[in-house]
Amino acid sequence: MPLVEPPTPRRHGRLIAAVVRAAKPLFRLHLALYRRELARAPFPRDARRTVIEGPDPVRLLFVGSIAVEGFGVLDHDLTCASQTARLVGSSRGRGVTWREVSAPVLTAAEAARIDLPDEPADVAVVLLGICDVLLATEGDSWEADLRRLADRVRGTAGPDCRIVYVGIPPMAEFRPIPPVAKRLLTTQIERLNALTARVALTLPGASWVPFPEWCSEGLYHQELLSWSTMHRRWGQAIAPAVVSSLGHAETADERCGSDAGPGVPA
């Protein structure tokens, strides 16, 4: 179950969808600007480290774009995935191993087709949506792709793998843009987030985590605008959901074990 109340889809969904479709040229412009920013932005230069030593390691899988790639930081230890893993390991008193499936520009449709590690995982964390916002992805396609991705993850990571869907950040707030463009981007973000929450509510073993609160009294502080801070706050929001998912999974395992018959190991 989600840790928070999921966003409610807006009324007049068809009208909003029509407006988003009509604004596709504007979205494409912002996608081009986003690609240009990616080409100039820093990414981690060191080798990935995907193991935290400790007993009975938790196995994680991260699927996403810039949050997993490490946009804006130079050290993999500062990425959202690494920070989430450290917090999960510290909370559980266990080691952690993880795999990352990412690309700077990755849509939900591409993620649903991409090769995934053929290795068991306890929890998969899905951080998608920025590219789909800028491509004005239709709601039905977005929702279907998220479900297909969950099926593919469980086909490789195991049928009991929990899924944590993470909300799209308020990207319209990260740079000065005209009010009309800001409103369109925000509408598309809210629309896709609401659909993601619905997927999490209706998919067994899935949960939804919104992007953490970003502003303070309407002001965006310099410290908050650093990408290292963003990755840290992503990790701080995601880790409790991963820990909760692990707790639910272990409770279910214990329940199944207590129902085992004579001679069947629990």
- Count of H helices and E strands in the chain? 9, 6
State if pTM tops 0.95.
no
Report d(CA 102, CA 94) in Å as an integer: 25
Choose between 165 and 175: higher pLDDT: 165
The residue segments making up the domain with residue 253 are: 13-258
Provide mean pLDDT across the span 58-81: 91
Residue 6 lies in a domain: no
Q: Please report the pLDDT score of residue 7 as a whole number.
A: 59
Q: What is the pLDDT of residues 74-87, one digit of tens each?
A: 888 999 999 999 99
Q: What is the tally of structural domains in the chain?
A: 1
Q: Is the pLDDT of residue 23 over 60?
A: no
Q: What CA–CA distances, in Å, run from 127 to 18, 231, 249?
A: 26, 12, 21
Residue 7 lies in a domain: no
Sign of torsion, CA 114 116 121 125?
negative
CATH number at residue 62: 3.40.50.1110
Residue 3 lies in a domain: no
Residue 263 lies in a domain: no
| Listed residue (159, 166, 217) closest to 189, CA to CA | 166
179 contacts: CB under 8 Å, gap ≥ 6? none
Q: Which of 3-12, 156-165, 213-222 reaches the highest mean pLDDT?
A: 156-165
Q: What is the pLDDT of residues 30-41, one digit of tens each?
A: 667 777 777 777
Report d(CA 193, CA 4) in Å as an integer: 13
For 147-177, b where at least 16 C-beta lie within 10 A, e where not — what string? bebbebbbebbeeebbbbbbbbbbbbbeeeb
Q: Please report the pLDDT score of residue 74 as a whole number.
A: 85
Q: Please report the pLDDT score of residue 8 as a whole number.
A: 54
Residue 1 lies in a domain: no
- Amino acid, single-letter form, for residue 28: R
Residue 2 lies in a domain: no
Cβ count near 100 (within 10 Å): 20
- DSSP conformational letter for 252: H
Q: Please report the pLDDT score of residue 264 as a whole number.
A: 25
Average pLDDT, the chain: 81
Q: What is the pLDDT of residues 191-218, one digit of tens each?
A: 999 999 999 999 999 999 998 876 544 4
Residue 266 lies in a domain: no
Residue 74 lies in a domain: yes
